[in-house]
């Protein structure tokens, strides 16, 4: 059985998928080959496999035409991804199955993928609406982290029970292996708050509130009023456009009390979400990774979106939601004392999102793929 695992976006996909590929390759009769688009993927895969103490797998770069390379140079990465997929249909048609970790791969069917089974291993476990989530229906098998995500897609008619398996969250297995590699600490010894804004323009809090937030932390630190340092770690796609200008501007905000990360492995492997004392964000699914240990959360709603009773903002019930900039720093200051009111909901929703047990999702996903392919 020949299985292709494809990494068609930034290296964050490795932390959701590589452990499953290794577990499947260890099952006799399964030859696994990995394909990547971003060159940085190679070092992340090597790091994960060292931590897991498993052998490397055969690895190939997706061949790219001049058109694809020009699109990447112009930072049109969503367009480049579609071009790369279309140009590699013949290559992927050699396999019995293709495993991807984002909905976009559903377009492979209309592009001409006709032989292999198409398998989706979902990454993330958030609540927000995603534009291409309708492509879920084009997969032959979908692996979801827990009952919350399963119910969401089944209620929308995008998943069938017979082609869906709840397997847990393989990323937790990777975190268990790499978590001891780096401890985040500041010279003043205080814990840190994590600011983790999403990249989508209509939903992110970064455009108007990130700089005031950084200034607020710096000012409080100077007067000795702050309980926290600050780590600013936006979604990695935030820096797709702008030819590095946004990245350079943000890095200039670094100080002894403010750490800025625009692309290290700590953004991807739960280093920050596991060690932060407070989560500040908007719609990123990383909040659920943070809630492996219930802790205070503050959510930012600068556009005053009508979020109550909206399932796409379910996680905003897990902490105070701030809609006025003047209330931002006061909300952060009172988050710890208010946390007790939110903790039961945090524990309940975390369980619904990931199920139990937390570890072992990689093997469960590999077993589900093997069983599905054996019956196909």
CATH of 192-354, one of 3.40.50.970, 1.10.1380.10, 1.10.1060.10, 3.40.50.2000: 3.40.50.2000
The confidence score (pLDDT) of residue 224 equals: 73
Which tens digits make up the pLDDT trace of 25-45? 999 999 999 999 999 999 999
Buried b / exposed e across 126-160, counting CB within 10 Å, b at 16+? bbbeeeeeebbbbbbbbbbbbebbbebbeeeebbe
Residue 27's pLDDT is 98
Percent of the chain clearing pLDDT 70 (strictly above): 98
Model confidence, pTM? 0.93
Q: How confident is the model at residue 60 (pLDDT cuts 50, 70, 90)?
A: very high
Residue 312 DSSP SS3: helix
pLDDT reported for residue 130:
82
Each residue of 215-234: pLDDT tens digit?
999 998 777 778 899 999 99
Q: What is the mean pLDDT of residues 156-163?
A: 92
CA dihedral angle for residue 284, residue 289, residue 291, residue 295, rounded to 10 degrees: -80
Domain boundaries, the chain: 2-170+360-375, 192-354
DSSP collapsed to 3 states, 61-116:
ECCCCHHHHHHHHCCCHHHHHHHHHHHCHHHHCCCCEEEECCHHHHHHHHHCCCCC
Architecture of domain 2-170+360-375: 3-Layer(aba) Sandwich (3.40)
Which pLDDT score is estimated for 50?
Answer: 96
**Residue 19 pLDDT class (50, 70, 90 cuts):** very high
Cβ–Cβ < 8 Å for 14, 173? no
pLDDT, tens only, 275-334: 999 999 999 989 999 999 999 999 999 999 999 999 999 999 999 999 999 999 999 999
The reported pLDDT for the residue numbered 247 is 77
- Token pair of 159 as six digits: 């998943």
For residue 116, pLDDT beyond 90: yes
For tokens 């196909």, what's the residue?
Answer: 376
Q: Supply the pLDDT for residue 117.
A: 98
CA distance 49 to 129: 32
Residue 94 has pLDDT above 60, yes or no: yes
Degrees (nearest 5) of the Cα angle 34, 35, 39? Answer: 115
């Amino acid at each position: 059985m020949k299985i292709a695992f494809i990494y068609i976006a930034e290296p964050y996909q490795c932390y959701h998928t590589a452990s499953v590929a290794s577990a499947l390759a260890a099952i006799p009769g399964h030859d696994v080959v990995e394909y990547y688009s971003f060159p940085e993927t190679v070092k992340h895969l090597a790091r994960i496999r060292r931590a897991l103490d498993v052998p490397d797998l055969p690895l190939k770069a997706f061949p790219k035409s001049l058109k694809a390379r020009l699109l990447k140079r112009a930072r049109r990465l969503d367009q480049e991804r579609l071009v790369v997929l279309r140009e590699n249909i013949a290559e992927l048609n050699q396999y019995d199955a293709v495993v991807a970790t984002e909905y976009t791969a559903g377009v492979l069917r209309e592009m001409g993928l006709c032989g292999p089974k198409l398998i989706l291993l979902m990454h993330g476990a958030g609540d927000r609406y995603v534009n291409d989530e309708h492509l879920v229906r084009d997969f032959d098998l979908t692996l979801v982290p827990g009952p919350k995500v399963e119910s969401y897609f089944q209620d929308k008619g995008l998943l069938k029970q017979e082609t869906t398996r709840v397997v847990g969250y393989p990323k937790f297995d990777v975190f268990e292996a790499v978590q001891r590699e780096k401890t985040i600490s500041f010279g003043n010894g205080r814990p840190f708050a994590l600011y983790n804004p999403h990249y989508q323009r209509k939903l992110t809090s970064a455009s108007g509130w990130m700089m005031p937030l950084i200034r607020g932390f710096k000012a409080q630190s100077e007067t000795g009023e702050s309980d926290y340092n600050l780590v600013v770690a936006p979604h990695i796609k935030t820096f797709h456009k702008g030819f590095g200008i946004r990245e350079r501007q943000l890095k200039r905000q670094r100080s002894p009390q403010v750490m800025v990360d625009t692309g290290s492995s700590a953004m991807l492997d739960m280093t920050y979400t596991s060690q932060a004392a407070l989560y500040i964000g908007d719609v990123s699914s990383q909040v659920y990774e943070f809630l492996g240990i219930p802790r205070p959360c503050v959510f930012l709603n600068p556009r005053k979106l009508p979020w109550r009773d909206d399932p796409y903002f379910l996680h905003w019930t897990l902490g105070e939601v701030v809609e006025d900039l003047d209330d931002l720093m006061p909300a952060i200051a009172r988050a710890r004392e208010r946390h007790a009111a939110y903790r039961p909901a945090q524990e309940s929703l975390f369980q619904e999102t990931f199920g139990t047990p937390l570890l072992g999702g990689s093997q469960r996903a590999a077993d589900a793929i093997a069983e599905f392919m054996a019956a196909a």
